[in-house]
């Protein structure tokens, strides 16, 4: 275990269309991490950079149950870290090793991302067990953890992604209640500040344009079902409405995120 945790985060300070925007404060005194090794790991493929950070939710009733599964050799799943709702952080797999967290996945043309990514499981019951907002203390600890990871590896902001971003046909985590905007305000990932997303107006040819922009950002887009990737995009960057419709608000956010992603 490392140094003691520093100051607690400030409480939520603002609201955006009914969703909280957390005023997150990184812990100045260092992040305490408890080692709970998982057998579900192996060597990373040689020559691959660690250039992607993938955030998940546990989708189980308790954090203890999730950790038990992530350490079960028969389950063959793991993550590098788990962040509990009270801010406790557990390391299951060293960063230099490959954890089994992303499965079939793709981002910016790279496939099977376990070999080049770090995975963090954020404890939440998920859509299967009673999805709920992520506590401020948990998000503050997660921000600290992510900032440390980003300081150690060449991970660009555009490669800080959701599990649902890299596997939109299979996954929906960490979901539409996750505070991506708050993390981005601290330097973890991208957020298109000042771009309104509430316009529900129909846009002729909107889906074709949406698919083009999603590919530019990095999404694996199925030509037969581009709406599947669009739901994933909306859960991340357009949380006001995430039904898979390419309306004007969605396209505005897509254009903005594509521009940010293109800038690195």
pTM: 0.89
Q: What is the pLDDT at residue 264?
A: 60
Per the annotation, the verdict on 61 as an active-site residue is no
> What single-letter DSSP state applies at residue 7?
P
Q: What is the pLDDT at residue 22?
A: 41
Give the CA-trace dihedral at 40, 30, 126, 108, to 10 degrees.
-70
**What is the domain partition of the chain in residue ranges?**
14-185, 206-262
Q: What is the mean pLDDT of each run of 10 residues along the chain (264 residues)?
A: 30 31 46 96 97 99 98 98 98 99 98 98 98 98 98 98 98 98 98 93 96 98 98 97 96 98 79
Query: Which listed residue (84, 85, 121, 176) is catalytic?
Result: 121
CATH architecture assignment, domain 14-185 = 3-Layer(aba) Sandwich (3.40)
Q: Which residue has the tokens 């409480």?
A: 11
Is-contact 128 59, C-beta < 8 A? yes
Spatial separation of the C-alpha atoms in residues 133 and 180, rounded to whole Å: 12
Q: Which residue has the tokens 């079939």?
A: 104
């Amino acid at each position: 275990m490392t140094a003691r945790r520093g100051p607690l985060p400030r409480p939520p300070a603002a609201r955006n269309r009914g969703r909280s925007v957390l005023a997150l404060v990184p812990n100045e005194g260092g992040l305490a991490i408890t080692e709970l090794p998982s057998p579900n790991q192996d060597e990373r493929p040689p020559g691959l950079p660690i250039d992607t950070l993938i955030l998940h939710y546990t989708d189980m009733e308790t954090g203890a149950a999730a950790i038990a599964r992530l350490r079960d050799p028969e389950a063959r799943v793991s993550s590098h870290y788990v962040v509990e709702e009270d801010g406790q952080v557990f390391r299951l797999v060293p960063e230099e090793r490959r954890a089994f967290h992303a499965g079939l996945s793709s981002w910016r043309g790279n496939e099977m991302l376990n070999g080049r990514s770090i995975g963090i499981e954020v404890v939440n019951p998920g859509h299967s067990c009673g999805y709920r907002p992520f506590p401020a203390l948990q998000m503050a600890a997660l921000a600290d953890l992510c900032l440390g990871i980003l300081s150690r590896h060449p991970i660009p902001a555009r490669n800080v992604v959701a599990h649902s971003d890299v596997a939109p046909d299979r996954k929906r985590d960490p979901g539409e209640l996750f505070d991506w905007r708050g993390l981005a305000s601290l330097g973890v990932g991208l957020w298109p500040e000042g771009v309104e997303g509430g316009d529900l107006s129909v846009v002729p040819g909107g889906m074709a344009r949406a698919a083009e922009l999603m590919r530019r950002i990095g999404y694996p887009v199925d030509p037969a079902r581009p709406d599947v990737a669009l739901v994933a995009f909306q859960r991340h960057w357009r949380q006001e409405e995430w039904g898979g419709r390419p309306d004007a608000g969605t396209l505005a956010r897509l254009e903005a995120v594509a521009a940010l992603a293109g800038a690195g």
